[in-house]
Amino acid sequence: MELLDWEWEIVILMVTFRAVTSLVELTHIQVDTEVEFGVVNDFGGLTSDGNFSGIMGLLARDQIDMSGLSMRITPERMQAAHFTFPTRYFQQVYIINDPPENDFRNFIFATFTTQVWLMLLVTILGVAMLRFVIAILIEQRTSPSTNILTGSILETYGLMLKQRVIDPTAGSAMVLEAVLIAAMLVVSQYYVSSMNSKLTAPPTSAIPFLHQDELLTLLEQKKRYLTYYADIELEGCSEKNVERIKKVMKYNPVVTHENENDLVAEIKRGGVFYSVYDIEFLPQAVSVWDRNQGLTVIRDTTGIVSYAAFAFSSDNRGLRTLFNRALLEVLPGIPQITLGHDYAHKKEALDTTVQAKRTTLSLKSHLEQLFLIYIIFSFACIVTFLVEIIVFHAKQHVSRKAYVIQRRQCVSNSSVFFVRVSEL
């Protein structure tokens, strides 16, 4: 993961300095800030004492003449260094682990919200009760009220699903018909939808967020966390987001690592690396950052667009002016320099990298939820059937008992009758 890939900027510096040397004599001394000052992966931020860290601190203290890498222009930095004409345009980006493809296995209940499901249930019960009242008061049916009520509910249910329903003669039959209607409807609709998706649209990735507002919501819910080289606060794109960032950082802080390998591992665990990047290299909102490492970059299109330029120390204002004069001749060719000689490449859009593929409906991948629901209701049907058998035998037992008692009473009454006749 080349988080800082600025090799092409050295070419811009060389071309510009060639023009500068025609104006003034310069002595070129290259300084490795990591070896000389221990500064690495730190352009500079304000510290608690009001000074700058990193490269900006070296410029402010006049320890180096200029920065060999361009950096963002901010009001605070402009007070400590002199910046050249802008050479690049940055925007907030987030690097995450490659998102999985959208999972449509839980499509049965996820299609509607809970509110819609409740409205459908109330509609079924309301219409069924209306049909029940009509059957009792207007049609004056002689069937038991329980049978009329269950028949009204099932007929309404079938009517909403555009299925023909026959009045059941038992509770188990009602449960079985209901689950069969729902299962067959879902299977047919899912099959048609799946076929249409194969013909019209490829699979899509489940991007967790696209803008800073959505990212902050995930941070507040602790579903994601930020990771970076240092504990630097994420830049808010609005005053509201600035306040949200301050609050969320109190209980969901930034996870820091000093080297790139640890950062990549943290991203794999669910961390979100945040930085700024040249929008010239990110034409799309979501792009492939590194295919081998499985990383995706999200450009926050709602984020602040900032300028980037080379910075000179506070004592080199005149050199900055000469550099600007030469930079004017180089500016038109910067896009060709940045994209030439394999220095940098435009990132590939994620949508174009997801290829359509053949999908066969399977029980595990697509119909798992439907199969579980069908098994549960089939078990409920069996339980209902067993209860009906028990109730049936219990009624038979009670009927036989009543018959035996009644027969005994009849035999007793007949014996008394015969006794009285014999007495006559």
pLDDT tens-digit series, residues 184-206: 677 667 667 766 665 555 567 77
147 Cβ contact partners less than 8 Å away, ≥ 6 residues apart? 167
Asked whether the predicted pLDDT for residue 217 surpasses 90, the reply is yes
- Which of 109-118, 189-198, 224-233 is predicted least confidently? 189-198
Asked whether the predicted pLDDT for residue 3 surpasses 50, the reply is no
- The residue that leads in pLDDT, 7 or 209, is 209
- List, in sequence order, the alpha helices (H) in 65-144: 75-78, 107-110, 114-133
Mean pLDDT, residues 132-138 taken together: 75
- Which of 174-178, 361-365, 372-376, 386-390 is predicted least confidently? 361-365
Yes or no: say if 218 and 248 are a contact pair by the CB < 8 Å rule.
no
Quote the CA–CA distance of 299 and 422 in Å, as a whole number: 112
pLDDT tens-digit series, residues 251-270: 999 998 888 889 999 999 98
Q: Which of 70, 90, 346 is nearest to 235 (CA)?
A: 90
Residue 27 pLDDT: 47
Yes or no: say if 226 and 254 are a contact pair by the CB < 8 Å rule.
yes
Q: Is 219 exposed, middle or buried (0-12, 13-18, 19+ CB in 10 A)?
A: buried
Quote the CA–CA distance of 236 and 92 in Å, as a whole number: 10
Share of the chain above pLDDT 70, in %: 69
Residue 364 pLDDT: 64
Identify the sign of the CA torsion 277, 48, 248, 238.
negative
Residue 152 pLDDT: 77
- The residue that leads in pLDDT, 24 or 412, is 412
Quote the CA–CA distance of 308 and 276 in Å, as a whole number: 10
253 phi/psi in degrees, rounded to 5? -75, 170
Mean pLDDT, residues 397-422 taken together: 65
Kindly indicate the confidence band of residue 110, based on its pLDDT and cuts at 50, 70 and 90: low
pLDDT tens-digit series, residues 297-352: 999 888 888 888 888 888 888 888 888 888 888 777 777 777 766 666 777 777 65
pTM: 0.57
- One-character DSSP codes across 177-195: HHHHHHHHHHHHHHHHHHH
- The residue that leads in pLDDT, 19 or 299, is 299
Asked whether the predicted pLDDT for residue 424 surpasses 90, the reply is no
52 Cβ contact partners less than 8 Å away, ≥ 6 residues apart? 44, 45, 46, 59, 60, 77, 80
Yes or no: say if 79 and 333 are a contact pair by the CB < 8 Å rule.
no
Domain architecture of the chain: domains with CATH: 7-89+305-345 (3.40.190.10), 107-202+367-423 (no CATH)
Mean pLDDT, residues 26-40 taken together: 59
pLDDT tens-digit series, residues 355-374: 545 555 566 666 677 677 77
Mean pLDDT, residues 105-126 taken together: 72
b or e along 30-55 (b: 16 or more beta carbons within 10 Å of the residue's beta carbon)? Answer: eeebeeebebeebbbbeeeeeebbbb
Asked whether the predicted pLDDT for residue 105 surpasses 70, the reply is no
Kindly indicate the confidence band of residue 25, based on its pLDDT and cuts at 50, 70 and 90: very low
Asked whether the predicted pLDDT for residue 216 surpasses 90, the reply is yes
